[in-house]
């Protein structure tokens, strides 16, 4: 019971101003909630939260520790896992608006090798909406360390066989999404993914930290997880008996999903041999899982999206393409995710504690997340370095999302409301 009640106690008794940065008074309640959610664990890691509203940055705060011996700084970057998928998708939409790639043209037209294994009809739109059938990572590589080899992974994706016929089903692509979409962008333009990021996203938006593959000189800015030290009495002895299904696997079975699909999509062989937070892991190009960003960069990208693809007088995404990317492709649950995600082209619905939103974005396995709400002209980004993991986001992400929407509604509608 104490384990259940402790987070509530931590929240109620927390310091409401345990953060640094700038806060618009209209979003003061959100800053206080951020402080309450982080206060009890500020020695275990750090976090940052940035909000844009009606084209202006209204909240930019941070707290806690970047590493065991360093405090979180205003320019600290953190590994955000699948939150990077939304960034990669945004780059794809910018390039599509530039006429450099087409949503509905077969990717094999740009990337002939991709036509293997009857993949000649798969388009960029199928990849972005998780309908290509190429969600399996476990059976296309022999060891997770291979993920750090970008050219080799493109070859593996080109040679891979889809698990279902294109557009006949849907399966979230936890790891393969990045090589599919990133590969298509490279082949269509003849430029590297890093070059495309700099030319079409980072430099035009003047982002202060956004990478798929961190340059060596920027590694010192990256927050690293702080793992608790276990005493010998806390170390569990491994059992030799057959392993029983864990809670996630039992939930998948109960819901009618296949644990095998989940494992094949999420867990490459030899994962113990690869560390995303090592220098090798951070410098590798694995866009589905190792995007490294500041909260400021993420919030600014989504501020442009919240403004329908426009930013400071420049059009990044055409009106036609913005309508296309924000349209829900299907509302059924896919093969991997435990909840219906209402996938758009590269983004999913906003998950809150009840507040309704037609917006979209992407969260990461560690509970980081970024999103936009074009109706409210609101964008949100939350990053951290705590060693947590969840397919549907840490409860802090849901709570902060809820309060961000409520603060915006207090301005737009005159009352915050819960729903």
CB neighbours (10 Å) of residue 155? 14
Residue 35 exposure: Cα atoms within 13 Å on the Cβ side:
19
DSSP 201: I
Cβ contacts of residue 369 below 8 Å, gap of 6+?
A: 83, 361, 362, 363, 380, 381, 382, 393, 397, 401
Which tokens in the block code for residue 238? 């491994």
Three-class DSSP category at 226: coil
- Return phi, psi of residue 157, to 5°: -65, -40
Per-residue tokens: 119: 């993949």
* Residue 82 is among the residues annotated as catalytic for this protein: yes
Residue 347 CB-density burial (10 A; 0-12 exposed, 13-18 middle, 19+ buried): buried
Q: Are 84 and 293 in contact (CB under 8 A)?
A: yes
Structure token pair of residue 417: 């409301």
| Catalytic-role residue among 35, 78, 82, 132 | 82
> Which residues, at least 6 apart from 408, have a Cβ–Cβ distance to it below 8 Å?
53, 373, 376, 378
> What's the angle, vertex CA 241, arms to CA 240 and CA 242, rounded to 5?
120
- From residue 337, alpha-carbon distances to 83, 172, 199, 258, 269 in Å are 15, 7, 33, 11, 20
- Give the Å distances, CA to CA, from 32 to 26, 59, 153, 403, 412: 12, 11, 44, 10, 21
Report CA-CA distances (Å) from 217 to 159, 214, 221, 279, 384: 35, 8, 9, 11, 21
Residues taking part in catalysis: 82
């Amino acid at each position: 019971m104490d384990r259940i009640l402790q987070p509530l106690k931590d929240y109620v008794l927390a310091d409401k101003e345990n953060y640094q940065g700038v806060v618009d008074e209209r979003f003061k309640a959100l800053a206080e909630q951020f402080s309450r959610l982080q206060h009890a664990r500020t020695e275990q890691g750090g976090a940052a939260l940035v909000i844009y509203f009606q084209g202006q940055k209204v909240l930019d705060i941070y707290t806690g520790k970047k590493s065991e011996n360093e405090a979180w700084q205003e320019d600290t970057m953190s590994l955000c896992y699948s939150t990077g998928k939304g960034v990669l998708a945004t780059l794809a939409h910018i390039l599509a608006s530039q006429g450099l790639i087409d949503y509905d043209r077969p990717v094999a037209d740009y990337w002939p090798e991709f036509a293997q294994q009857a993949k000649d009809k798969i388009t960029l739109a199928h990849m972005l909406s998780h309908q290509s059938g190429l969600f399996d990572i476990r059976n296309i590589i022999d060891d997770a360390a291979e993920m750090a080899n970008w050219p080799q992974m493109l070859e593996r994706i080109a040679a891979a066989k889809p698990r279902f016929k294109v557009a006949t089903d849907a399966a979230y692509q936890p790891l393969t999404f990045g090589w599919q979409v990133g590969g298509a962008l490279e082949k269509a333009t003849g430029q590297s993914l890093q070059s495309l990021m700099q030319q079409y996203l980072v430099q035009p938006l003047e982002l202060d930290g956004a990478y798929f593959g961190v340059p060596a000189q920027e590694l010192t800015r990256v927050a690293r997880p702080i793992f608790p030290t276990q005493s010998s009495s806390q170390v569990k002895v491994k059992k030799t008996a057959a392993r029983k299904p864990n809670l996630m696997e039992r939930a998948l079975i109960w819901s009618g999903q296949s644990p095998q699909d989940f494992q094949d999509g999420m867990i490459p062989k030899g994962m113990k041999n690869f560390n995303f937070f090592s220098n090798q892991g951070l410098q590798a190009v694995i866009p589905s899982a190792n995007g490294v960003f500041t909260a400021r960069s993420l919030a600014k990208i989504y501020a442009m999206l919240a403004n329908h693809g426009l930013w400071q007088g420049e059009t990044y995404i055409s009106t036609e393409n913005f309508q296309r990317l924000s349209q829900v492709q299907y509302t059924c649950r896919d093969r991997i995710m435990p909840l219906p995600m209402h996938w758009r082209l590269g983004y999913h619905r906003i998950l809150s504690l009840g507040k309704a939103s037609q917006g979209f974005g992407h969260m990461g396995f560690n509970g980081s997340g970024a999103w936009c709400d074009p109706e409210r002209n609101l964008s949100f980004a939350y990053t951290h370095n705590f060693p947590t993991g969840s397919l549907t986001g840490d409860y802090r992400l849901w709570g902060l999302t809820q309060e961000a929407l409520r603060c915006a509604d207090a301005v737009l509608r005159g009352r915050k409301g819960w729903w």
